Amino acid sequence: MRTEPAYAKLNLTLDILGKRPDGYHDLRMVMQSIDLADQVTLSPREEPGIGVTADLPYLPRDGGNIAAKAAAAFFAQSGVPPVGLTIAIRKMIPVCAGMAGGSSDGAAVLRVLRDLYAPEMPMEQLEEIGALIGSDVPYCVRGGTALAEGRGEHLTALPPLPPCSLVVCKPACSISTPELFSLVRMKKLRCHPDTAGMLRALEDQDLERIARRIYNVFEDVLPRRYAEVFSIKSELLGMGAMAASMTGSGPTVFGVFRDRESAARAAESLSGQYAAVHLCRPI
Ligand code: C5P
C-alpha cells in the first residue's frame, strides 16, 4: 500500500494564444503547486482491474475516474504487465474548481506506479503518459513552479514563488471548462498577462512584481452569473492581498499575502460566507 499527496495548483498567469485545428487552445500559463492536497492510496489486489473508492459520493468509481484512467494508461504505455489495484482517494481539493484536483489525483497514481513498477522510466515519459489523460496532468506529475505551454503539456521549470501566504476560496457555483473555452473569442480578449515580466520577476524573486503580473484571461469571458468571482477578488484585495485572481477555468479565487496574519484574517472572514476556504502556502 502506498499513499501519495496530490497537490492542487494555482495559475499565477493564464494566457490563451489561439485556437488549434484539433479543437484545443494553445496556452501559456505559470503554474504553482500549493500545500492543499488530496491523499491517493494505491493497494495492489488479487482481483484484476482497477477499482476506485472516494470519500465524496459523487466522484466516479469506475474507469471514468481520472485516477483509474491514469493507471490504465500507465500499464498500456509502459509495457508493465497490469496488476489489480484499488485506488482510494481522500478529497481535500475542491472539485470542479480550476485547481486541477482530478488531474493531480491521476498524476499521483502515475508517480506511485512508476516508483513501484518502472523506477527506471524517465519522468518525461511519465509526463507524456499524463498528457494522454488530460492537459494539466503532465504539470501535476512534475509540480512546483512551471511554465506550461502548448495544450499545457510543454513544461519549463521556473524558480519557485517566494514564500507567501495564499487564501483560496471557491464559491458554490461551478464552471464547465469546455464551456468557458467555447466563450473565448480571440479578437475580443482585451488584456493578456505579461508572462515574460512574470518570468523575470520570478527569476529576481520579487514578490511585489510577481503579484502585479498575476492575471487570468478567463476572467474576461466569465458570464455574468459568476459575478461572485469578482466580489471574492474585491474582498481579498480589501483585506490586504497583494493580488487576487481566478485560477484555471475557475471559479476558485486566490489571494496572495505577504504575511500569514492578514491572510489568516482574510480566510477567517471569507469562511463566514463560503464553505471552501483554505489558508495555504506554495510548495
Ligand atoms: O485536456 P482536458 O481533458 O483536461 O481538457 C478539457 C477540455 O478543455 C477540452 O475538451 C477542451 O474543451 C478544453 N481545453 C482546450 N485547450 C486546452 C486544454 C483544454 O480547449 N489547452
Q: Ligand 1 pocket test: which of 25, 26, 136, 221 has the largest number of ligand atoms within 8 Å of its C-beta?
A: 25
For the segment 180-213, what is each residue's pLDDT rounded down to a tens digit? Answer: 999 999 988 989 999 999 999 999 999 999 999 9
Give residue 233 CA to ligand 1 midpoint distance, Å: 25
How much is the pTM?
0.96
Which residues of the chain have a pLDDT value below 50? none
Q: Note the pLDDT of residue 55.
A: 93
- 271 Cα–ligand 1 center, Å: 31
| 38: nearest Cα among 79, 89, 114, 80 | 89
CA–CA dist 259, 271 (Å, integer): 19
CA distances from 189 to 16, 27, 122 (A): 9, 14, 38
pLDDT at position 56 is 87
269 Cβ below 6 A of ligand 1 = no
Ligand 1 binding pocket mutation candidate from 24, 183, 221 (most atoms within 8 A of CB): 24
Q: DSSP state, 96?
A: S
Radius of gyration of the chain (CA): 19
- For 178-247, list the strands marked E by DSSP: 215-216, 243-246
- Least Cα distance to 153 among 94, 115, 107 occurs for 107
Catalytic (active site) residue 9: yes
At 207 the pLDDT is 98
> Whose alpha carbon is nearest atom 12 of ligand 1?
178
